[in-house]
Amino acid sequence: MNAPLTWGQTAHALAAQFAVRAAGHDREASFPFENFAQLHAAGLLTLAAPRELGGQGATLAQLAEVIGAIGQGDAATALVLAMQYLQHRSMGRPGGRWPEALARRLVHQAAQGVSLVNSLRVEPELGSPARGGLPATLARRTPQGWRLSGHKIYCTGAPVLAWYAVWARTDEAEPRVGAFLVPAGLPGTRIVQTWDHLGLRASGSHDVIFEDVLIDAGNALELRPPHGWAGGDPGLQADMTVLLGALYTGVARAARDWVVGFLHQRKPASLGAALASLPRAQEAVGQLEGLLLANERLLAGLARDIDAGVPVSAVDSGLLKTIATHNAVRAVEAALSLSSNHGLSRSNPLERHLRDVLCGRVHTPQDDSVHLAAGRRALGI
C-alpha cells in the first residue's frame, strides 16, 4: 500500500498542472481560479492556521516547501497562497491581534471552500506603510459598527479574496491605526481592475475601494497609536522572508530546469553537439546551481530557527530577504545568458520567469531600507 503524499509532494504534483496553464494566464492577465479550487481540494489552504483554530499547524519549513513548489509552477498563484499563509500564521502568534472567534471563522471557511484573506495596506498617496505615515483610509465608529472608507492598491488576490484585512486609521481626536477585517462583497466595496504589470500578471493585484462600508465593531483586529507600530512586526517579517524567498527561489529553479533542457536540446550545426557539452555552459550552470543552493540552505536555516522559537531581528530577516531575492534574480539572469534570444522569446517560459522574479525586489523591506538599518546597527547609530 502506497504511503500518502506529503504536503510538499502534493504541491509539486499540483504545480506541474499549474505550469501548463501559467503562460495563458500570464498572457491574458487572467486570474487562475481553477488553481485555488485544486489547492482547496488538496487541503492546502489551511496548512498555516494553528491546529487549535481548526487548521493543520504546518511548520514554516513545511509551508516554504509548498510555496517553493507552487512558485516553480506558477509564481502568481504562489504569491496569493503565501499571503494566506502569512495571515493564518499571524493568528497563532503569542499576543496576536486576532479575536479567537473571528480567526476560527476564517479558518473554518477556508476548510469548507475557496476562502482566502490578505492584508490591504498600500495606498495611492501613502505608498507602503513601512515607510511611515498615517493611512488615508478612515474608520468611523458608529452605533452600528465601523464605517470604512478608503482606496487600496496592489491588493494581491483581489478576485478570489473572501476577507480583507484593511490598514486604516480611526477618526478619533488622537487617531489609532490598525487592521479592520472586512468580508468581501459588502455594499460600498468594489474592485477596480487596474493590475497590468510586467510580472506576476495573474496575481489579480487590483485596487479595492471602500465607500462607507459597514463592518461589525468586533472586526477591528488591533488598534494602537501610530508610534505603537514603529519597528513593524519582526515575526511577520521573518515569515515573509522565508515564504517569499522560497517563492522566488522556486521561480529560479524553474528557469534552471528550462535552460538545462535547452542546453541538451540545442545542437548548433557549427558545433555538431549539444550546447551542454561546452565547458563554458557547464561552468555557468554550476554557478547557477550555487545560487540556488545558497538560497535553499539560507532559507532552511532561517525557517529552522523560527520553528524552534529562536528570535530573528527585523534587520537580520531584511538582510536575508535581500540576499535571497538577488540570488534568485541572478540565477534567472544566468539562465538567460545561456539561451540568448531563445530565452527572450514568448514561446518559451524563461522570459516569464525573468519578469516574475524581478518582482521580488519590490516587496517590503526594499534594499535601501534593509541596508540603512543594517549599517546603522553596525555603526551603533
Distance of CA 183 to the CA centre of its chain: 21
CATH 3.30.360.10 is the classification of domain 234-379? no
Q: Name the burial class of residue 317, with classes exposed (0-12), middle (13-18) and buried (19+) by CB atoms within 10 angstroms of its CB.
A: buried
Whether 164 contacts 182, CB under 8 Å: yes
Q: Compute how many other C-beta atoms are within 10 angstroms of the C-beta atom of residue 226.
A: 16
Say which amino acid occupies 162.
Answer: A
Instruction: Look up residue 26 and give its three cell numbers.
Output: 500570464
User: Could you say which of 2.40.110.10, 1.10.1660.10, 3.30.565.10, 1.20.210.10 is the CATH number of the domain covering 119-229?
Assistant: 2.40.110.10
> What pLDDT sits at residue 94?
74
Q: Which residue has the cell 495571515?
A: 87
Q: Where are the alpha helices (DSSP H) in 308-366?
A: 314-339, 341-344, 350-358
Write down the domain spans for the chain: 7-114, 119-229, 234-379
Query: Minimal CA–CA distance to 19: which of 62, 54, 70, 89?
Result: 70
What does each of the 381 residues of the chain score in pLDDT, given as a tens digit?
667 889 999 999 999 999 999 999 999 999 999 999 999 999 999 999 999 999 999 999 999 999 999 999 999 999 999 999 999 999 988 766 799 999 999 999 999 999 999 999 999 987 666 666 899 999 999 999 999 999 999 999 999 999 999 999 999 999 999 999 999 999 999 999 999 999 999 999 999 999 999 999 999 998 999 989 887 899 999 999 999 999 999 999 999 999 999 999 999 999 999 999 999 999 999 999 999 999 999 999 999 999 999 999 999 999 999 999 999 999 999 999 999 899 999 999 999 999 999 999 999 999 999 999 999 999 999
Model's pTM, two decimal places?
Answer: 0.96
In terms of DSSP bridges, do strands 220-224 and 138-142 run parallel, antiparallel, or are they unpaired? unpaired
What pairs with residue 141 in β-bridges?
146
> What pLDDT sits at residue 340?
87
In angstroms, the CA 44 to CA 70 distance is: 11
User: Could you say which of 3.40.50.2300, 2.60.290.11, 1.10.540.10, 3.40.50.150 is the CATH number of the domain covering 7-114?
Assistant: 1.10.540.10
Q: Which residue has the cell 504545480?
A: 15
Whether 379 contacts 315, CB under 8 Å: no
In angstroms, the CA 254 to CA 70 distance is: 10
- Do the domains 234-379 and 119-229 match in fold? no
Query: Minimal CA–CA distance to 216: which of 163, 122, 142?
Result: 142
In angstroms, the CA 2 to CA 11 distance is: 18
